[in-house]
């Protein structure tokens, strides 16, 4: 390759970068010019992209740290080491020159990406901390970072526990969250050892899917590393301007879940029933809202079918869960009470045999009776 050809190669690198081709297109250009196989990895040896017809290894780490074939070049973003660019099957001195030129171009591209990522992280951290004044300022800041805000977000708080927790890379939690939620519009903010993931949920089904995906994260963590456990909490769905409430409920769900179930589970705030009230020290308005929310399915069903499920539940508790005396007060057969109790459990999605669910129902009944006349 002549000096003129090297200049042309460098000019093509500049054209690719200017057109927004990114690191992948730059790697393809190197592979085509050198006739070798190209592997681009981040600084932690995780593959970013590969190019060329020559087979490349899983990682260039053996090339750098040992005597494995190939040539590797550090990718620098200023003074920061951000990756490795490696070439295989083309070991001429000229190929090494092309490798260095391409690594420099990729370093500039990754530097831009890191700046953008930093700006995005700064936005989500400010949102987490409640640092914006109103919805308009949130929208302006998001637009400046290239973030298209969703109308609602579910916040998921995650924390690494277990024998490998101290050595867990925070980027691993991010990678697991990205894999679990399968969304390109996730937001991330870190506070101490907790990673907060903002999952867009414009529809009710999106919030439900986010909850399901979050519940699978502990299993995904164990699959990646048997010594790593993940616990967490799923907050309520809120618009961006109410993000601190989503963060608060996610953190509370994680704290309550750890105390009730230990490590290795991700629990939803909406599923914690009475425990969320006790943990937060709820005021009267919150207590009334809780009772109304728990009893709403029974009241809707009673109104539609002219049944007495809510009254049956209250008498069942008032009679010390004695089906016989509850049936006498209702003037029905005890088998009818058993049937109604099964209906209540199904409609409320809570088991009367489960102590946690029973506490929620008992507390809802008690709050309603205490405040219904006031």
Residue 243: closest CA among 316, 142, 338, 343: 142
What average pLDDT does range 204-233 have in this prediction? 88
Residue 348: closest CA among 304, 308, 296, 307: 296
pLDDT band at 153 (very low <50, low <70, confident <90, very high): very high
Q: Could you read off the pLDDT of 77-136 as tens digits, one per residue?
A: 888 888 999 999 986 778 889 999 999 999 988 877 656 667 788 899 999 999 998 999
Judge if 257 and 294 occupy the same domain: no
Judge if 163 and 241 occupy the same domain: yes
Judge if 72 and 90 occupy the same domain: yes
Q: Could you read off the pLDDT of 280-307 as tens digits, one per residue?
A: 777 888 888 889 999 999 999 999 999 9
Q: Which of 83, 113, 143 finishes a domain?
A: 113
Average pLDDT score over the chain: 88
| CATH number of the structural domain spanning residue 210 | 3.30.70.270
Report yes or no on 125 lying in a domain: no
Q: How far is CA 138 from the centre of its chain?
A: 21
Q: Give, in degrees to the nearest 5, the angle at Cα 33 between 72 and 84.
A: 20
What pLDDT is attached to residue 37?
94
The answer, yes or no, to whether residue 167 has pLDDT greater than 50, is no
Rounded to whole angstroms, what are the CA distances from 114 to 109, 120, 121, 351? 9, 10, 10, 49
Q: In angstroms, rounded to a whole number, what is the distance separating the alpha carbons of residues 231 and 66?
A: 38
Q: Considering only the C-alpha atoms of the chain, give the largest distance between any 2 of them, rounded to a whole number of Å.
A: 101
pLDDT band at 213 (very low <50, low <70, confident <90, very high): very high
Residue 246: closest CA among 213, 269, 271, 215: 269
The answer, yes or no, to whether residue 168 has pLDDT greater than 60, is no
Judge if 256 and 287 occupy the same domain: no
Judge if 200 and 266 occupy the same domain: yes
Number of domains composing the chain: 3
Q: In angstroms, rounded to a whole number, what is the distance separating the alpha carbons of residues 65 and 87?
A: 15
């Amino acid at each position: 390759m002549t000096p003129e050809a090297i200049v042309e190669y460098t000019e093509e690198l500049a054209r690719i970068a200017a057109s927004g081709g990114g690191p992948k297109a730059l790697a393809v250009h190197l592979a085509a010019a050198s006739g070798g196989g190209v592997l681009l990895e981040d600084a932690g040896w995780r593959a970013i992209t590969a190019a060329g017809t020559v087979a490349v290894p899983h990682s260039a780490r053996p090339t750098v740290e040992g005597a494995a074939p190939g040539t590797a070049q550090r990718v620098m973003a200023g003074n920061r080491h951000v990756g490795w660019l490696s070439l295989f099957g083309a070991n001429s001195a000229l190929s090494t020159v092309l490798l260095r030129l391409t690594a420099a171009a990729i370093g500039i591209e990754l530097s831009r990406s890191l700046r953008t990522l930093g700006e995005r992280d700064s936005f989500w951290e400010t949102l987490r901390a409640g640092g914006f004044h109103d919805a308009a300022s949130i929208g302006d800041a998001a637009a400046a970072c290239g973030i298209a805000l969703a109308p609602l977000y579910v916040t998921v708080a995650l924390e690494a526990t277990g024998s490998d927790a101290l050595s867990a890379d925070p980027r691993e939690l991010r990678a697991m969250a990205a894999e679990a939620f399968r969304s390109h519009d996730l937001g991330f903010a870190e506070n101490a050892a907790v990673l907060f993931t903002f999952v867009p949920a414009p529809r009710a089904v999106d919030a439900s899917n986010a909850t399901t995906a979050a519940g699978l994260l502990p299993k995904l963590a164990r699959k990646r590393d048997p010594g790593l456990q993940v616990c967490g909490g799923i907050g309520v769905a809120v618009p961006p301007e109410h993000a601190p409430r989503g963060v608060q409920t996610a953190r509370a769900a994680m704290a309550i879940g750890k105390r009730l179930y230990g490590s290795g589970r991700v629990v939803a705030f909406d599923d914690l029933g009475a425990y969320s009230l006790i943990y937060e020290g709820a005021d009267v308005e919150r207590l009334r809202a809780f009772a109304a929310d728990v009893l709403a399915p029974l009241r809707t069903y009673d109104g539609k079918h002219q049944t007495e499920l809510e009254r049956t539940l209250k008498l069942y508790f008032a009679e010390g869960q004695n089906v016989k005396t509850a049936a006498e007060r209702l003037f029905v057969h005890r088998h009818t009470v058993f049937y109604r109790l099964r209906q209540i459990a199904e409609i409320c999605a809570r088991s009367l045999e489960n102590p946690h669910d029973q506490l929620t129902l008992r507390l809802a009944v008690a709050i309603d009776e205490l405040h219904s006349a006031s």
